[in-house]
Structure 1
Amino acid sequence: MRPGEQDEADLTDEATYESVRSPSRRGLLRMSAGAGLTAGLGAGLTAAFAQDPASAATGIVKPLPPESFIEHGTNAEMRWEAMRGQGYLTPADRFFVRNHVATPLIDARTWRLRLWGTGLRDSPAEDRPIEFSYADLRRFPAETITSFIECTGNGRGFYASQQGQEVSGTPWRLGVVGVARWRGVRLSAVLRRAGITRQAVDIMPRGLDADYVDKGENLGRVRRPLPVAKAMKDVLLAYEMNGAPLPPDHGHPVRLVVPSWVGIASIKWLGDIQVADEPLSSPWNTRYYRLFGPSYPEEGTAPLTRMNVKSAFELPWDTALPARPQLLHGRSWSGNGRIRHTEVSVDGGRTWRRARPLDHHPNPRGWVRWEFPWRPERRGRYGLLARATDETGASQPPTAPYNTLGYLFGAVVRHPVTIV
């Protein structure tokens, strides 16, 4: 089988994906727990980029005006009201920031992308990799895709506030998602140029941000395996966002964009890619980004891949609206493909009516904007509900299945407003 010829259906079902890429989930979980995980990665990449040490310690580089963002430590959640009137794309100055540590400042002139491993011809070692400069990548044929990137924990806060269930992690509402126009080079083109073999199974992209330490344990740089079939299909090495070079907080000089998949797959500040002829693992596909809890196996589910269906109103949270006719706006999206329709309820879910779509040829990798006319019948408190259905028939349920890390909250969200 040539790289990339595996059926994509194998990758959309998490259990199938896991059985294809790994013979033993329990074994991988054990591997992620100790120093053995990083043995094959060596001491790390050579510092082939210019970095301001003071800036590297400040967390997020871009301004975070409170009218556009909710700050969560080294992370920043977009306020949905900031998207009202912004058009289809999320501007870079409103795009959410999800960092494990601080945003690094990297000089594109000295940056190199290093590829190495047993899945390449001649099996180049980490200390003698195949290298591509920023200028090298820009000499490849360029491709542009419009795609959302979404944190796997988007909506996590609603496990507690709507379902009374405690979970760990940042209590996001729905603002860790954004749609941008990404320009770059196909990952498949670079892998072919580097000499990927028929025996290649997984790749392991790794970022250039600082090592991540969890409860005193150094887990190394952020990295997560990606099956070769997905890597060769539609993944982009992006160097532009919305027509401009990537900003530092969004991966400058080069990041991965893995359409429709969990955001952790779209590694920022890409530094190297291991290409292997055997399954790879890291904490980001063993101890994190699986579903754990009383309804799941001890080692968790298979690693999470596609995102689920969600909808959001372009309204401030718990806002006051005047007692007159309103035209509500919102957006719906799904990792499964195009949104078929969105319904809105203004009476707590007793009745539902279709919202009017504003994008009549929906992008399967993006979202659909919609509007909904509403004439409030009285003053007082309301809970606005929006639920979408995608082209596979998947829809937003009343409640989300519980998992301890709070991933993939896909239930209908009750958005509180007061008519005054």
Structure 2
Amino acid sequence: MPADVSNFRTSDEVAYDRTRLRQWREGRAGADGVSRRAMLGLLAAAGSAATVPLTAPARAVAAEPTIRKPLPPEWFVPRGTNAETRFEALRGTGRTTPNERFFVRNHTFTPVLDAGEWRLKVWGSGLRGRRGEDRPLEFGYDDLRRLPSTTRTAFVECAGNGRSFYASQQGETVTGTSWTLGAIGVARWRGVRLGDVLRRAGATRYALDVQPRGLDADFLTNGENLGRVRRPLPLAKALDDVLLAYEMNGEPLPADHGYPVRVVVPSWIGISSVKWVGDLEVSEEPLYSPWNTTLYRLFGPAHPPEGSAPLTRQTLKSAFEVASGATFPQGVRTRLHGRSWSGAGAVVKVEVSTDGGERWRRARLHDVPRADVWTRWSLDWRPGARGPATLLARATDARGRTQPAASVPNTQGYFFDAVVRHPVTVV
């Protein structure tokens, strides 16, 4: 096992992805469910100006209710198989998001699983004895709960959070669910370190990738069955801070959030935190799935022809706990509240403009800045002239990055990080 597995960064993933591609070309990597055409496109583009064919917006076929929990309209905006949290519904809820208000991201529909029958299968060439899929090591739900537990507070956020602003603010055409900023939630997760399970399973020093796979239904797009959701993690990340979680905010995981067990990958894009996990492939070879090839990379004129490396850490964002189009009485002091977060580290400063960006004032932070979670903040405002007004908030994180005025576009609308223009009216 590597001695130092901490501080795995996106720069590591870029170098690692080049190794993955080279090894696939040499026949030393796996590409489960990825068409040969897509893989050859990535390889060809790496040495030419060719572009990689992208998948069209996916469509899930659901034979059951897509989401199990109630979705009151004052808390959620339904978005197909998903549900976006309204940020104004978080006002006064504390630093963690109540389970009943946590956003839902489903590729198909929420399965109903029995913890007593659930098994986690651990298999692959990266384990001692080369356990294959026909001879996996299995953990039951009670087996997992008997292992030493740990608790970590962290956000889970869809890579497409903020996607709609590429169109509404920048005039860009992108594909995917038109999230505003509510495809994020923070929870206190309790479970077992993935690294502890891998060590018990006999992961060797030759292991490279760990690929969790969910137990939800197969995902269909463009007439092609991509199988169940799965996405590989580099072993260094898997051994670092990743959890196999079975509790959320002190309760067993709700069905919509991965019951009985899910993966939680702090600060990385939400697709990495596979729900309803059923097996882990531990491989000596680099692994590919549709979720790190044609999906969850950045494509477009501003990016390499072969696309970016697979997306890992989340970007920087801010949101007001105020409904879009809310009204405020002229001349009456009010207190604006909001939240800011970053995948690169703690948010240490937030500035707010109440006049469309002419002047900025520093907001008061309500939390000790911490990595992996958002920081709540507030600012007093006495609205002036009646009429439309635009509120802006911009965050700076511990690495010195500040939200820009515009985001670099990409065809699938990931990683919108620009300051969002929040319309309100003074009456």
- Kept in 1: contact 2:8–2:236 (CA 8 A): no
Tell me the residue number matched to 2:357.
349
Structure 1 residues 43-122: aligned runs within 5 Å: 57-122=64-129
1:329 aligns with 2:337: yes
Describe the SS at the equivalent of 1:199: coil
Deviations 1:253-283 (A, max 9, x none): 0000000101100000000000000100000
Question: Whole-Å Cα distance in 2 between the matches of residues 18 and 8 of structure 1?
Answer: 17
Question: Whole-Å Cα distance in 1 between the matches of residues 24 and 409 of structure 2?
Answer: 21
Deviations 1:54-104 (A, max 9, x none): x96110000000000000111000000000011111001100000000000
Quote how far apart the aligned CAs of 1:10 are.
5.0
Quote how far apart the aligned CAs of 1:24 are.
6.1
Which residue of 250, 262, 266 corresponds with 2:257?
Answer: 250
- Kept in 1: contact 2:8–2:237 (CA 8 A): no
Question: Whole-Å Cα distance in 1 between the matches of residues 323 and 122 of structure 2?
Answer: 45
Tell me the residue number matched to 1:44.
none
1:286 aligns with 2:287: no
1:261 aligns with 2:262: no
- Kept in 2: contact 1:29–1:299 (CA 8 A): no
Tell me the residue number matched to 1:16.
15
Tell me the residue number matched to 1:164.
171
- Coordinate RMSD, CA, aligned: 2.0
Deviations 1:208-256 (A, max 9, x none): 0000001110000000010000000000000000000000000000000
TM-score by length of 1: 0.92
1:419 aligns with 2:426: yes
- Kept in 2: contact 1:56–1:103 (CA 8 A): no
- Kept in 1: contact 2:231–2:289 (CA 8 A): yes
- Kept in 2: contact 1:32–1:283 (CA 8 A): yes
TM-score by length of 2: 0.90
Quote how far apart the aligned CAs of 1:340 are.
1.1
Describe the SS at the equivalent of 2:22: coil
Q: Which amino acid aligns with 2:35?
A: G
Which residue of 340, 352, 356 corresponds with 2:348?
Answer: 340
Structure 1 residues 204-243: aligned runs within 5 Å: 204-243=211-250
Mark the CA change 1:253 to 1:164 in structure 2 (over 3 Å): closer, same or farther.
same
Question: Whole-Å Cα distance in 2 between the matches of residues 120 and 237 of structure 1?
Answer: 19
Mark the CA change 1:162 to 1:91 in structure 2 (over 3 Å): closer, same or farther.
same
Describe the SS at the equivalent of 1:93: helix
Describe the SS at the equivalent of 2:280: strand
Quote how far apart the aligned CAs of 1:138 are.
0.3
Tell me the residue number matched to 1:305.
312
Tell me the residue number matched to 1:34.
35
Question: Whole-Å Cα distance in 2 between the matches of residues 17 and 384 of structure 1?
Answer: 41
Q: Which amino acid aligns with 1:18?
A: D
Deviations 1:298-331 (A, max 9, x none): 3211000000110000011122222211100000
Tell me the residue number matched to 1:129.
136
Q: Give the gaps of 5 or more residues in structure 1.
A: 38-54
Question: Whole-Å Cα distance in 1 between the matches of residues 142 and 8 of structure 2?
Answer: 35
Describe the SS at the equivalent of 2:287: coil
Q: Which amino acid aligns with 1:351?
A: R
Quote how far apart the aligned CAs of 1:363 are.
2.1
1:5 aligns with 2:13: no
Question: Whole-Å Cα distance in 2 between the matches of residues 256 and 171 of structure 1?
Answer: 25
1:270 aligns with 2:271: no
- Kept in 1: contact 2:30–2:287 (CA 8 A): no
Question: Whole-Å Cα distance in 1 between the matches of residues 399 and 81 of structure 2?
Answer: 36
Quote how far apart the aligned CAs of 1:125 are.
1.1
Question: Whole-Å Cα distance in 2 between the matches of residues 20 and 6 of structure 1?
Answer: 18
Deviations 1:341-388 (A, max 9, x none): 0000111111111000011x2221101100000111111111100000
Describe the SS at the equivalent of 2:198: helix
Higher alpha-carbon deviation: 319-328 or 229-238: 319-328
Quote how far apart the aligned CAs of 1:16 are.
2.8
Identity of aligned residues (%): 59
Tell me the residue number matched to 2:202.
195
Deviations 1:146-186 (A, max 9, x none): 00000000000000000000100011000000100000000
Describe the SS at the equivalent of 2:195: helix
Quote how far apart the aligned CAs of 1:199 are.
0.2
Question: Whole-Å Cα distance in 2 between the matches of residues 26 and 205 of structure 1?
Answer: 24
Quote how far apart the aligned CAs of 1:395 are.
1.1
Question: Whole-Å Cα distance in 1 between the matches of residues 154 and 116 of structure 2?
Answer: 27
Question: Whole-Å Cα distance in 1 between the matches of residues 32 and 300 of structure 2?
Answer: 21
Describe the SS at the equivalent of 1:23: helix
Q: Which amino acid aligns with 1:141?
A: P
Q: Give the gaps of 5 or more residues in structure 2.
A: 39-61
Question: Whole-Å Cα distance in 2 between the matches of residues 236 and 30 of structure 1?
Answer: 25
